[in-house]
A and B are shown apart, each in its own frame.
Chain A
């Protein structure tokens, strides 16, 4: 019985390459990648690296949209490479570039240091009201209390929202969507009492008022964190604080 060999479909993938040791500026390189219906864009990149050009550099890990490593611009839109199927982009050229608004380190790898600094600045951990001892046991939280911040805690730090935010692109001093979503996450967590410590970052010149409610950050978020909401709620909070701070005892900072 003769087997009919079906020629696999191939998709043209253009990758923005950048190797500082050999080029001054990034350049597009095209690859023809055979694919099956179950392959993601990430798998397309892996085919390129395994079979066509081993020098291609990119970040990835879980390949199931939970680690946040494989964020890149796919046809100009920030996406997780593992979450998009090649079949959905076929026919037509697929253009892959490093995540927007970040300096390119190499190929599809961006310099994330700015975000890492902001992340530690906002103190992303529970700051309790009083020091707790082990003998006091665990915190108790009702499902309603959990529901208040649960969506915000889904952030996987993939930075798609930063790539989406034109205000961050125009001014990288802006604290940005994910950092603000995390500030809000702790504010809404019943176990946390550290909002006062985080607020100065919120209402600073580098804070929420850089946001012009474009809303694209929430559109691209793979985990539906809705950072746009977190940022804009805090505009109201900052405004309240701005005018009401004079009414507080001993000029207390909130």
Chain B
């Protein structure tokens, strides 16, 4: 007759017990910002489809303080998403060797951030061209 009785501990509140996990939940949480923004764009498309009056209403809404505050938060969310995405990226890639040496995680992350900067400039440039 075995006297063994292995004890299984609960996982409740696991992420609150370690700052590493708190940060993990925050960067996972940026998905809410991505979702919110996609839905905002979709709402804009629907307003456009309903005609000029609906679109003008949408523009007024976009110009309102609550909307500006929301977009401010979304902007911060997206920036944090970019930062953490490229921070994690090296972990997901096989070793990249350049001239015999393996590229460091920092190099790969920085390359990603620079790519984001360039892409953002391109998008802004495109927006200016399309707007004129």
How distant is A62 from chain B, measured CB to nearest CB, in Å?
26
Segment of A51-59, A212-220, A240-248 in the binding face: A212-220
Mark out the residues of chain B between 90 and 116 whose CB falls within 8 Å of any chain A CB in the assembled complex: 91-94
Number of A-B contacts (CB under 8 A): 61
Q: Inside 8 A of B20's CB, which chain A residues have their CB? A: 214, 216, 219
- Taking a contact as CB atoms closer than 8 A, the residue among B4, B8, B91, B94 that contacts A20 in the complex is B4
Contact with B along A75-110 (1 / 0, CB 8 A): 011000000000000000000000011011100000
The docked-state distance in angstroms from the alpha carbon of A229 to that of B91 is 5
Q: Are B28 and A18 in contact (CB under 8 A)?
A: no
Query: At the interface, yes or no: A190 with Cβ under 8 Å from chain B?
Result: no
- Taking a contact as CB atoms closer than 8 A, the residue among A101, A169, A232 that contacts B91 in the complex is A232
Which of under 10, 10 to 19, 20 to 34, or 35 or more describes the interface residues of B?
20 to 34
Tell which of B3, B7, B15, B28 has the most Cβ of chain A within 10 Å: B7
Q: Are A233 and B21 in contact (CB under 8 A)?
A: no
The docked-state distance in angstroms from the alpha carbon of A81 to that of B21 is 22
With A212-B28, A229-B91 as contacts: A104 and B7 at CB distance below 8 Å: yes
Q: Inside 8 A of A216's CB, which chain B residues have their CB? A: 18, 20-21, 24
Q: Are A232 and B7 in contact (CB under 8 A)?
A: no
The docked-state distance in angstroms from the alpha carbon of A166 to that of B24 is 11
- Taking a contact as CB atoms closer than 8 A, the residue among A25, A26, A170 that contacts B11 in the complex is A170
Q: Beyond A104-B6, A166-B14: 9 further Cβ-contacts under 8 Å?
A: A20-B5, A104-B9, A166-B11, A166-B21, A169-B14, A215-B88, A219-B20, A228-B91, A233-B92
Q: Which 10 A-B pairs have the closest CB atoms?
A: A103-B6, A20-B5, A232-B92, A104-B7, A111-B6, A228-B91, A103-B8, A233-B94, A169-B11, A214-B24
